[in-house]
Structure 1
Amino acid sequence: MIALLNLSCLFLGLISWLIPIIIIIMKKISNKKRYISIFISMSICLLSIYLQSLYIKYLININDWTALMDIIGTSIVLEFIMILVNIILNCTILILLNKYEEK
C-alpha cells in the first residue's frame, strides 16, 4: 500500500504536466476551459506533493532514518522541478490565451 504512494505521486505529477500540454496543442478551446485546466493542473500537482509528504511521514513513523536520508534530497529536487515545469506550462497557457484573444 505504501509503495503506491510513490507510484501515484509520479503518476499525478505526469498528469499535471500533460493537462497543460494538451491544452496548448488544442488551440481552439474556450477561455473558461483553459482556466479550469490550469486550476486542475495545479491541484493535481499539489496532491502529488502531498502524497510525497505522506510517504516521508510514513518513513518517520517507522523510524527508517536511512531510507529517509536516502530519498529526501532527491525528493526536494524533484518536487521543485515538478512545480517549476507546472508553473511554466500553465503560464504558457495564459500567454497563449491572451495571444489568441487579441486575434
Structure 2
Amino acid sequence: MISFLMLGSLVLGLIAWIVPVVSFKRCEKHNNRNGISFFMSLSSCAISLCFQIIYNNHLVKIEDWSALLDTSGASTMASVVLLIVTIILNIIALFAYRDREIE
C-alpha cells in the first residue's frame, strides 16, 4: 500500500506538468477551461507533494532511518523541481491564454 504512494506521487507529478502543456496547446480554441486546468495542475502538484510527506512520515513511524537518510535529499530536490516547473508551466499557459483573449 505504501509503495503506491511513490507511484501516485510520480503519476500526479506528471499530470501536474502535462495539464498546462495541453492547456497551452489548446489555448487557440478560446475555451474558458484554462482556470480549471490551472486548478487541476496545482492540485495534482499539491497531492503529489502530500504523498511524499506521507511516505516520509511512514518511514519515521517504522523507524527506517537508513531509508529516510537515503531518500531525503532526492525527495526534497524532486519536490522542489516539481513545484518550480509546475508554477512556471502554469504561468506560461496563463499568459498565453491571456494574450489570446486580448487579441
2:6 pairs with 1:10: no
Name the structure 1 match of 2:77. 77
Contact 1:20–1:93 under 8 Å retained in 2: yes
Q: 2:91: which partner in 1?
A: 91
Q: Which residue of 1 aligns with 2:62?
A: 62
Whether the 8 Å contact between 1:60 and 1:68 is mirrored in structure 2 is yes
Give the whole-Å Cα distance in 1 for the aligned partners of 2:17 and 2:73.
22
Deviations 1:29-76 (A, max 9, x none): 423x10111011101100000011010000000000000000010001
Structure 2 CA distance for aligned equivalents of residues 11 and 29 of structure 1: 28
In the TM superposition, residue 25 of structure 1 has moved relative to its aligned partner by 1.0
TM score, norm. by length of structure 1: 0.95
Q: Which whole-Å CA distance do the structure 1 matches of 2:25 and 2:93 have between them?
A: 10
1:12–1:47 CA contact under 8 A, matched in 2 = yes
What is the alpha-carbon distance in structure 1 between the residues aligned to residue 30 and residue 72 of structure 2?
40
Q: How many residues align?
A: 102
**Does 2:15 correspond to 1:19?**
no
Unmatched runs of 5 consecutive residues or more in structure 1: none
Structure 2 residue identity aligned to 1:70: D
- In structure 2, the residue corresponding to 1:63 is in which secondary structure? coil
AA matched with 1:86: T
Q: Percent identity?
A: 37
Q: What CA distance in whole angstroms lies between the structure 1 residues aligned with 2:57 and 2:30?
A: 40
| Contact 1:17–1:86 under 8 Å retained in 2 | yes
